[in-house]
Amino acid sequence: MKQSRKLPKRKCRWCGAEFEKLRPLQIVCSSACAISLNKRKREAANKKAQAEAKRRERAVIKARRHALETKPQLTKRAQAAFNAFIRLRDKHQSCISCGNPLPDTPNGYDAGHYRSVGSAPNLRFNENNCHGQCKRCNNYLSGNHVNYRLRLAERIGLEAVEKLESDNKPLHYTKDDLRQIERLYKEKRRELL
């Protein structure tokens, strides 16, 4: 009887050639292939380490930038994002105060607060409290308040208006809250577009 010692066949992990497995953990056909494979593994590991270092560096830069941002700056940015959303939301509405059609240009009208940011800062990001308003009403008629109230009641209901009028619950925003509000309203605006 012929004795044949059968070695398991393997495919070289580097060159793809078939080889007979001589050692338990052998995955390549030759030492040349072993060197090439190891080189590629090292390069991949280096690349990964570099990417990780870059990521950490970016995180440090971001943390530094965040530390330098002040609350007034972040509030301003969040308010700009919120107001831009309100203007787009009310694009085809009439002025909340005088009822005239709003001009068909993005900056042709304002986002006017019913209760002003100065007197009710807790409502500065309240969507019921802010509506598309012509520049005349916003800038020259001090918000045209009496008419604002009338049309606001038509739009959101008297109950919601009264809720705004009695809402004096102080709201304090952290820097991260403000960043989140800015992100949220940029996102909401994009969704409308």
Contacts with Zn ion by CB under 5 A lie at 12, 14-15, 29, 33, 95, 97-98, 134, 137
Shorter beta-carbon distance to Zn ion: residue 123 or 134: 134
For residues 148 and 165, the answer to whether their CB atoms sit within 8 Å is no
Residue whose token pair is 């002025």 = 95
For residues 26 and 3, the answer to whether their CB atoms sit within 8 Å is no
Report CA-CA distances (Å) from 172 to 55, 65, 141.
Answer: 32, 22, 30
Shorter beta-carbon distance to Zn ion: residue 37 or 80: 37
Name the minimum Å distance from CB 156 to Zn ion.
Answer: 17
**Tally of CB atoms within 10 A around 78:** 23
Name the minimum Å distance from CB 66 to Zn ion.
Answer: 39
Name the minimum Å distance from CB 103 to Zn ion.
Answer: 11
Shorter beta-carbon distance to Zn ion: residue 115 or 185: 115
> Helices 71-89 and 175-192 sit at what angle, rounded to 10 degrees?
20
Name the minimum Å distance from CB 135 to Zn ion.
Answer: 8
Shorter beta-carbon distance to Zn ion: residue 94 or 122: 94
